[in-house]
Amino acid sequence: MAVAMPVALALIGSGAARAQERVDLLPPVPILERTLTEGTCLTRPAEPLYYPSRSWRMEESGLFRFALTFSRPDRAPDVEVLTAAGNQQLLQAAKARVTQHRLPCMASDAPAQQVIEEISFNATPRPESHAVAPSAAPHPARAKALWACLRTPETPPAAQPPDFGTKTATTVLLFKFTAPDAPPTIEVIYNSGSDALLAVFKAYVSSYRMPCLTAEDASPVTQQMFRYAVDDVRQTLADPLPLRALLANVKDIRNMVAKFDFDAMGCPFDVTWTLWRPAMPNDARQVASADAYDARREPFLKWLTTLELNLTPERFEQLLGSTTRIQVPCGSLNLAANE
């Protein structure tokens, strides 16, 4: 049985050189800092961590995991990048942040101590949590532990515009680990770039390892999206998005047959929806609220995964992987195909 892992986004910016932009976005923006090592007295700077402005505009997310080795309580740690899923600008911001961490309770004559720290940037409007079926994650603690030990290169894949002759390209790879010291198996889910660009991304993912994987573990599976863009332009879905507005842009909506009673689903409610069709099924999840998981909404969510928007190829390339919060009202939806 495969264990589904969180999606990590590695978004590749232009190969052209740029001056470093001022990091000027104020909180609250979705940046999460957490210590994966239990029982430490790790302290962080009092000032907030800011989101690099270009990455925010381009909806570029990232997740980084560091091993911080402290030799003295009042000195900066030695920093090793364990996992890097994100662009260079986000990595630099996260790395600069962890160098300011300290371990004040450490005795001055104590041996070196290591702390694992994780920083994630989430530029999409995806909420913090979802309501899921109780059986959807049979071993959530172990799945998280496996994900936490993923090892990747420190720097993003090297891709230069002259080599590939394209302005925008997206690649989605599905990969699975079967041994702790072996590269993952890779399946290409979607690729709009050249074969040369695809080879760069596949070689990059082939260097990933999961050293804590054991023979008793199910094979961890996840997908990763690489976006290659020369221009600083990215279209995104409106957020929030009323259900009526979404349906107005669905391809072949007049030929569909569907019937849903939202009154019987505990309406109103929100759904996070990520556009992937026709590359692969969309992602649709219940937003966690005061209510627990509601199984009555599952047929509707499954239907949302099948919808394809009426987009030009160029616009689809821009919106692929974009997430919005769909507002589902009370009432009903009744679609009957035109005769």
pLDDT tens column, 65-109: 999 999 999 999 999 999 998 888 999 999 999 999 999 999 989
Q: Establish if 85 belongs to a structural domain.
A: yes
pTM, full prediction: 0.76
Question: How confident is residue 32, by pLDDT bands cut at 50, 70 and 90?
Answer: confident
Q: Do 170 and 25 fall within a single domain?
A: yes
The last residue of a domain, from among 164, 195, 229? 229
Question: How confident is residue 239, by pLDDT bands cut at 50, 70 and 90?
Answer: confident
Q: Establish if 235 belongs to a structural domain.
A: no
Q: Do 164 and 301 fall within a single domain?
A: no
Contact 271, 285 (CB under 8 A): yes
Question: How confident is residue 308, by pLDDT bands cut at 50, 70 and 90?
Answer: very high
User: Residue 250 sits in which domain range?
Assistant: 241-335
Q: Do 31 and 145 fall within a single domain?
A: yes
Whether 221 shows a pLDDT value over 80: the answer reads yes
Whether 202 shows a pLDDT value over 70: the answer reads yes
Distance separating alpha carbons of residues 118 and 243, to the nearest angstrom: 35
Whether 64 shows a pLDDT value over 90: the answer reads yes
Give the chain's domain count: 2
Q: Do 166 and 258 fall within a single domain?
A: no
- In order, the DSSP letters of 116-138 are EEEEEE--S---S-EE--TTS-S
Whether the link from the prior residue into 242 is cis, omega within 30° of 0, is no
